[in-house]
Amino acid sequence: MGQHLVILSSAEAVEDLLLKRGAIYSDRPTLAMQQLSGWEYAYATLRYGERFRATRRLSGRVMNSRASRDYIPMQEQAMRRLLKMLLVTPERFEHHIKSAAGSIVLKLAYDYDTVDDHDPLVDLADRALEIFSVSSKPHWAVNLFPALRYLPHWFPGCGFLGQAAIWKKVVREMYKRPFEMAKKNMQTESGHDSMIAKMLEGDGESPSPDLEELVMLCVGSLYGGVSQTVSAGLSFLLAMTLYPDVQHRAQAEIEAITGGDRLPTYNDRERMPYVDALIQEVHRWNPVLPCGLPHFCSTEDVYRGFRIPSGSTVLANVWHITHDPKIYPEPFAFNPDRYLGDTVGSSVNPDPKGFIFGFSRRECPGRFVADASVWLMVATTLATFNIGMATDENGQPLVPDVKYSSGILRRVRRLHPLSFPCKIVPKSPRAAALVG
């Protein structure tokens, strides 16, 4: 075994190593079960090298800050669909948020329009993402002893090989099926809006098989970002259930801009600083990746007198940093004011988005799209609905616990089959009419 693990629990250490020395901390450790299951070429787990740089260039071409603004109208349309679903069946809010987030990624990536219930591509991508999470867990013997992958599948104790082969087919289908659909659509007049088309047609020449494979794997990895949006959306609803004063203040800011006569649009963002601060606090309060994704030290290093051997796994303790009372006073309180400095004598706390979207060369390529999706979800939901505690059969409020699942990707833990107790109702008939 002999694996060295370095945990960075301060913002200063993260900046010094993962940012300033990013050239030697941008690799990823290898998890054999993840590779066997088909995830070896996902952007998030790709080893640092030429293939990673090529993938990063492709992603940057279609998801930089300027290009991402072109996607805003489609994201606004997706959020209007979300509001309609919440109006009809508010108790299924977790499903609706997942559906909206998935529809955005699939529309951008493949120009594919999803259906609201059990869309086949959304279901397929969800299965593949669950495989990613499960295959990353440390209990797999092959993750501790990678040489086990070379034993025959019938060898005692090697049942994981058969399981990985089944999972690999699912992951491969997740990559290939929508890619082939998008390629076929490129033969039509209207089939050139997808990210697939923009990447394949970027240089005006016929793409090589190697480029097609690279684009398929690059775009297929984007669905992993759905978990960031879903987790943030559920944390937002949980926070609004528990902190009604914060909700009312954000609603008042929105109504002051829109007059209650229209839904907020992304162009309103600069005039809604409290809504922006609320979203920052959602990200800080319960970050979706509490330890980030693991980094890999490719060259021996020394930091503050400590030797970091080559091959060490390095984790950014995002949870500790975003709950450090020296940076964020009263860290377990949900307080958007901490970013505004509204209280007399208070200072402005740093934006936690600097910690939640990855670091340096491993920063999430879809962060601009994800950030816009979360803002639109929060602003439009608050403009139309009141979020509060559900009640039991005796009319007593059901106070939800702040409990999250474990694993690489944190999700609000279900407290009953529907999800944590939450009541979502239109603010007024006038607000409901905005949904259409």
pLDDT in tens, the chain (436 residues): 568 999 999 999 999 999 999 999 999 998 899 999 999 888 888 999 999 999 999 898 899 999 999 999 999 999 999 999 999 999 999 989 999 999 999 999 999 999 877 889 989 998 998 898 889 887 899 988 889 999 998 898 889 999 999 999 999 999 999 999 999 988 887 777 889 988 888 766 678 888 999 999 899 888 878 888 888 999 999 999 999 999 999 999 999 999 999 999 999 999 999 999 999 999 999 888 888 889 999 999 999 999 999 999 999 999 999 999 999 999 999 999 999 975 544 558 899 988 888 898 999 888 999 999 999 999 999 999 999 988 888 878 777 777 666 554 444 333 222 357 889 999 999 999 999 7
DSSP 8-state code for residue 90 = G
CATH number for position 195:
1.10.630.10
Among 207, 259, 223, CA closest to 124 = 223
pLDDT recorded at residue 279: 96
8 Å CB contact between 32 and 149 = yes
Q: Which residues are annotated as a binding site for heme?
A: 364
pLDDT recorded at residue 406: 56
CA dihedral (159, 164, 169, 172) in degrees, to 10, reads: -170
Among 30, 42, 222, CA closest to 132 = 42
DSSP 8-state code for residue 397 = B
8 Å CB contact between 277 and 284 = no
pLDDT recorded at residue 40: 87
Query: How many domains does one find in the chain?
Result: 1
pLDDT recorded at residue 417: 28
Integer Cα distance of 322 and 31 in angstroms: 27
8 Å CB contact between 4 and 307 = no
pLDDT recorded at residue 204: 65
Place of tokens 């493949």: 110
pLDDT recorded at residue 1: 54
Beta carbons within 8 Å of 400's beta carbon, 6+ residues apart: 238, 241, 242, 389, 415, 420, 421, 422
* Spacing of C-alpha 331 from chain mean position: 22
Rounded to 5 degrees, what angle do the CA atoms 76, 77, 80 make? 90
8 Å CB contact between 220 and 110 = no
Host domain of residue 233? 5-435
End-to-end CA gap in the chain: 59
8 Å CB contact between 29 and 127 = no
pLDDT recorded at residue 201: 83
- DSSP annotation string for 42-86: -TTTPPSSHHHHHHHHHHHHHHSHHHHHTTHHHHHHHHHHHHHHH
Among 141, 121, 110, 111, CA closest to 36 = 141
3-state secondary structure of 424: strand
Q: Which two tokens stand for residue 267?
A: 């162009």
List Cα–Cα distances, 181 to 58, 112, 221, 237, 255, in angstroms: 20, 9, 16, 35, 42
Q: Which residues are annotated as a binding site?
A: 364
pLDDT recorded at residue 346: 53
